Structure 1
């Protein structure tokens, strides 16, 4: 039987999926850890924009603790941090540098960092403009877990001094993401918060497609899109879609579009959680290309790759229903075999098991 660990996570948000991709990532991972029998707590800064949009205020799989500042975090929860077997700090935590310094003084177990934004973080560190992680703190971590794999892991070790860098990709909770059996309502859909660097690809790979195929139906779900965007009449807009409705959303699409942030494309090996969610729901994806994509899904067999409006139009018009369902099943098989929350939880625990001495032992002993 696996040794039960007391795990404390300090992250951007668990309670609200509004305007961020961290909540769904933490939920899948922590549900996986919970199924393995570990004891879990999650500390989240009480921020007004998340407080107004909480879609998981009382998670059943862990204890959720809200705090207002670093001093309160220590005063009310310092003892829990001390006794934890693992403290995992995420990227983009408000006042993250101060949080890490305080936690490094308190923690007696292993201390790790989970970077859900690795290419962004490294660019900020190079520009000395990162407010949630300082370069001097990187060698405090027993393991630097990264959303991005591939060559970035070597850069973390060689350029930034990480003692150990391991990939910890996003994952999907297969109990909540599965085909619903609903009939397709849209030919192509997209879900994602507005991002300036994704808007041009969205224009090319969905909006222009909708203009050229007025007989087809499209949908875009996501918050923070500018009001001046002109949407063709055959595109339905959904401002925000909570995770409880994701499975239905994917199940009602013939295909879903995946768009990757520019910095993630440049780094490669940065799969979006939307790819795993859609696949688990039996919806085949059409994605832009990024290095390492084929390590997760085989193009032409478990995913379609597109670079132009014409590519998308050709896929929508030229795919038979049998071909579409084959792609969908291959992708679903791939995800269920290796990209679930339980799979990621096992990877995390396995990596920790080989860490024998905390990177901070000499500091605490001094």
Structure 2
């Protein structure tokens, strides 16, 4: 089966939180025998900040952010059995909707939403939005989170089918590693600075740092260089994916803070939840609906309602308990939340859908 996937970037996680999700899902699909082609624009300095070389399991086509280069990659959809347009490519997002027009009659047409809260807000504000008009003609909308609230909203807007394909773990990529002195803190937090996350970072990360001036805090990710922070917070800047395991294994605990819209919807575990759990890190997460569907509170993950809860968890945490929680989380994600498991669902969906369309055509 030939899969043509149009997304932000497979090769670079620079200002591109979906990269590890794409890698996990698509490498696992390739293991089912599928031929994967990934089309990404040369934009936002991502090609100058690659985390990986082109992988063996996918043909990666990097195209110039120009109309002529866009037209050339859109034409390649004509050779695919499954044509996927992801959300948040960043350039030519509206123009890329045309990939579905170039797909063969038998092909599945998929919109894969890696930021459902933002997409749904945009569609709700504009009933004439080009993507919203196309939803009834698509075979499936797949999302990387959101659960029942996202499914119901997409179906209300005309989608035939909306299925969450959650983030997961690739154990070959994220696993326990040797601690690194650069990241040796009591609480580590890794995320890029975004407007709809900043107030929650103030509450769940910076407030605990102010409450516990004797403890060490570390923040990684892009955009934090000019943010005012307590003296016990160390900024480590952009952390490439090659260093994620060391980051997760060097702190007593690792913090997860959902963006505001994702926390409101619930059922949206970030990629870093599974990456940290796969490394055996002790996770402290802000509270959101559905968290117990993925990890058991207080035995596999510590859940905080606010910054005071984070400070209380950290103050009471011993290395022994942190290790026990991290070990339990790792065992759980290895058992229930690997990308290989997610790919089984997607593979069956694609095979069944193609069989139905081919039977109808015959």
Query: TM-score over 0.5 for the alignment?
Result: yes
- Cα root mean square deviation, aligned: 2.4
Alignment correspondent of 1:221: 220
- Tell me whether 1:353 sits opposite 2:354 in the alignment: no
Distance in 1 separating the partners of 2:163 and 2:101: 20
SS in 2 for 1:17: coil
The residue matched to 1:237 in structure 2 has which SS? strand
- Pick closer, same or farther for the CA change 1:102–1:201 going to 2, 3 Å: closer
Which of residues 163, 166, 176 is equivalent to 2:160?
163
- Listed one character per residue, the Cα deviations across residues 166-204 of structure 1 (whole Å, up to 9, x for unaligned) are 111122221111011427821101010102232222222
Measured in 2, the distance between the counterparts of 1:95 and 1:73 equals 8
Aligned match for 1:236, one of 229, 234, 237: 234
Residues 1:70 and 1:143: Cα distance change in structure 2 (over 3 Å): farther
Residues paired across the two proteins, number: 354
Offset, 1:224? 1.7
Matches of 1:234 and 1:130, distance apart in 2: 49
Q: Which runs of 5+ in 2 are unaligned?
A: none
**Counterpart of 1:340?**
338
Q: Deviations over 1:86-110 (max 9, x none)?
A: 1111001222222122432333411
Deviation at 1:240, TM superposition (A): 0.4
SS at match of 1:189: strand
Query: Residue 204 of structure 2 contacts residue 257 of structure 2 at CA under 8 Å; is this kept in 1?
Result: no
Aligned counterpart, 1:192: 191
Distance 1:245 1:328, change over 3 A: same
Secondary structure, counterpart of 1:186 in structure 2: coil
Secondary structure of 1:208's aligned partner: helix
Would you say the 8 A contact 1:146–1:165 is kept in 2?
Answer: yes
Query: More deviation in 14-23 or 206-215?
Result: 206-215
Determine the structure 2 residue equivalent to 1:145.
142
Say yes or no: does 1:67 pair with 2:93.
no
Offset, 1:74: 4.2
Alignment of 1:26 with 2:25, yes or no, is no
CA contact (8 A) 2:12 2:51 kept: yes
- 1:34/1:312 CA distance change after superposition, 3 Å: same
Unaligned runs of 5+ in 1: none
Deviation sequence 1:36-78 (CA, Å, 0-9, x none): 3321110012214223322234223211102234543443562
Question: TM-score, normalized by length of structure 1?
Answer: 0.89
Q: Distance in 2 between matches of 1:71 and 1:358?
A: 32
Deviations 1:287-316 (A, max 9, x none): 111111111111112111112333122211
Q: Tell me whether 117-126 or 347-356 shows the greater mean CA deviation.
A: 347-356
* Equivalent position to 2:286, from 288, 291, 297: 288
